[in-house]
Structure 1
Amino acid sequence: MRLTVQHKTHYTYDAPVPYGLQQIRLRPKSRPGQQVEDWQIEVKGGQVEVSFEDEHANSVDLVSFHPGETRIEITCRGTVDVEDRAGVVGPQGGFVPLWLFERSTALTHPGPQIKAMVAAMSEGGAPVEQLHALSAHILQVVPYSTDQAASDLTAEDALSAGHAVCQDHAHVFITAARLMGYPARYVSGYLKMDDRVEQDASHAWAEAHVPDLGWVGFDVSNGYSPDARYVRVATGLDYRGAAPISGLRYGQAGEQMSVSLQVQQQ
């Protein structure tokens, strides 16, 4: 499926910002099952200082603000050809060993509720069947709800809340999969919803490393593995390692952010 993406992030400040610096993980890469035909990033109110690959082989652009700006706009647009591989991504790449993905983080530290959930899971079946069962169980006990919008919610907190967005679902899955003995990671990217062009936000899901298959994706929020409607952009141990935009700024200016996103089949 040939997908076109246009993603705009607009920041407005109520006072001039003397200095700001952001890491942008918004540039997808070509890989088996995904070919990037073209991709551009345009910055108004700032400039790209350097581009590099991080430890997970994500493409990162370092953006600085023009001194004294009150408006910053980052626009990404491009075309990506995606193949339906039933969620199978393949062998580990990047610059870190596979065992690193068995490590918990502050957002994916297993608490008593997640430990109890994993202990209650059936041990039978092939690895992929176990992981699909885990995904379905998480969606059942933690239904999708946009009422939860905190970006720093831990996996245990999301389970306690009883409802979650895609980011939280990914964290719960990653935490549980690691307890089950599977290396797991967070994925940020885009999803073309079938009933619309304008999307509410970018998307997130999880991947687990399965013997003989490599990395396999699981979208808990939607109840299936990623297909040709998904564009993979960045991966990490959790949201913080794959966040589309993160950074810092000096000064006391208040910030307002708005996002517009279009994903459609060409």
Structure 2
Amino acid sequence: MRLKITHQTSYRYDQPVQSLVQSLRLTPSVFEGQRVVDWTISVSGGQRGAAFRDGAGDWIEGWTVRGPVEEVTVAIEGQIETRDTAGVLRGHREGVNPLVYLRATALTKPDAGLRELAASVTGDDALDLAHKLSAAVSGAIAYLPGVTEAGTTAAEALALGQGVCQDHAHALIACAHLHGLPARYVSGYLHSSADGEPHDAAHAWTEIHVGSLGWVGFDAANACCPDARYVRLGSGYDAQDAAPVRGLTVGSGAESMDVRLQVQEMEEQ
């Protein structure tokens, strides 16, 4: 599948800010499931700084904008070819030991509810267990936008019984950890039209390390493994750690954000 992605995020400030520094994890991952045809990142009024591939295999770019400035826009435009690898992250080069991803964060820390959910699941092997944990999270948390916030924890989302992809990912990470399986949060894009209507959005899912097979993706929000509709950007311990855009602003102005995103399927050449 060839996907064209247009993603524009505008940050506006009610008072001009002196400057800002951003760390962008907005370049698609390099592995067998996807190949970049072309990809451009720009920051209005910005100067590109250092860029590097971190230990987890993610490409990080630093940008600086000198003010005073009232609006900054991060724009992405590109095309990428994807193929279905049944969720397996094959060919992705990274130097981080998977055991690092047994660490819980404030967003993925288990409580009694998550412990009970995880304990209710058993599997024949690590892969089977991971699939069943994902299904359990899918059944326990109904997808419903607007009921949770960026700071909602996995425990809170489970207690509520509702949430979005971020909440499903955090809950699945917590449940995997309780079974001793390394798990991490993945950010990216999803193009889906299975019901005849396009659902183009930034998306999140979970990767669980299942022994010799390595990292395998599980999207509990959609009850499936990532396929050719998914574009992987990067990973981390949780949503905050894997955020595509992280930044520091010098100034006292209140910030508002506007996001425009389109993921379009193109005719392959």
Q: TM-score range by the shorter chain?
A: over 0.9
Aligned to 1:206: 206
Q: Which residue of 2 aligns with 1:136?
A: 135
- Secondary structure in 1 matching 2:25: strand
- Within 5 Å, give how 1:74-153 maps onto structure 2: 74-90=74-90, 93-121=93-121, 123-153=122-152
Post-superposition CA distance 1:157-200 (Å, at most 9, x none): 1112211110110000011011112111110001012145572x
Match of 1:231 in 2: 231
Q: 1:45 to 1:197 in 2, by over 3 A?
A: farther
What SS does the aligned partner of 2:240 have? helix
For residues 151 and 198 of structure 2, what CA distance do their matches in structure 1 show?
28
Per-residue CA deviation, residues 185-233 of structure 1 (Å, 9 max, x unaligned), is: 110001012145572x300000101123111110011110010010100
1:253 offset after TM fit, Å?
0.6
Indicate if the aligned counterparts of 1:92 and 1:215 stay in contact, CA closer than 8 A. Answer: no
What is the CA–CA distance in structure 1 between the aligned matches of 2:56 and 2:155, rounded to whole Å?
A: 25
SS at match of 2:181: coil
For the Cα contact (< 8 Å) 1:92–1:214, is it kept in 2?
A: no
CA deviation after TM superposition for structure 1 residue 147, in Å:
1.9
Long gaps (5+) in structure 1: none
Structure 2 counterpart of 1:220: 220
Distance 1:246 1:203 in 2: 17
Mapped pair 1:189 → 2:185:
no
Report the residue type matching 1:135 in the other structure: S
Q: Matched residue of 2:15: which SS?
A: strand
Q: What letter matches 2:233 in structure 1? A: V
Partner SS state of residue 88, structure 1: coil
- 1:40-82 CA distance string (max 9 Å, x none): 1011132222212223221111121221010101111111111
- AA aligned opposite 1:58: D
Write the distance in 1 (CA, Å) between the matches of 2:92 and 2:35: 18
User: What's the CA shift for 1:127?
Assistant: 2.6
- Sequence identity percentage: 41
Query: Structure 1 residue 112: deviation in Å?
Result: 1.3
Aligned-partner residue type, residue 210 of structure 1: V
What TM-score do you get using the length of structure 1 for normalisation?
0.94
Q: Secondary structure at the match of 2:67?
A: coil
The question of whether the paired residues in 2 share the 8 Å contact of 1:24 and 1:244 is answered with yes
Q: 1:184 to 1:264 in 2, by over 3 A?
A: same
**Equivalent position amino acid for 1:226 in 2:** P
Aligned residue pairs: how many?
264
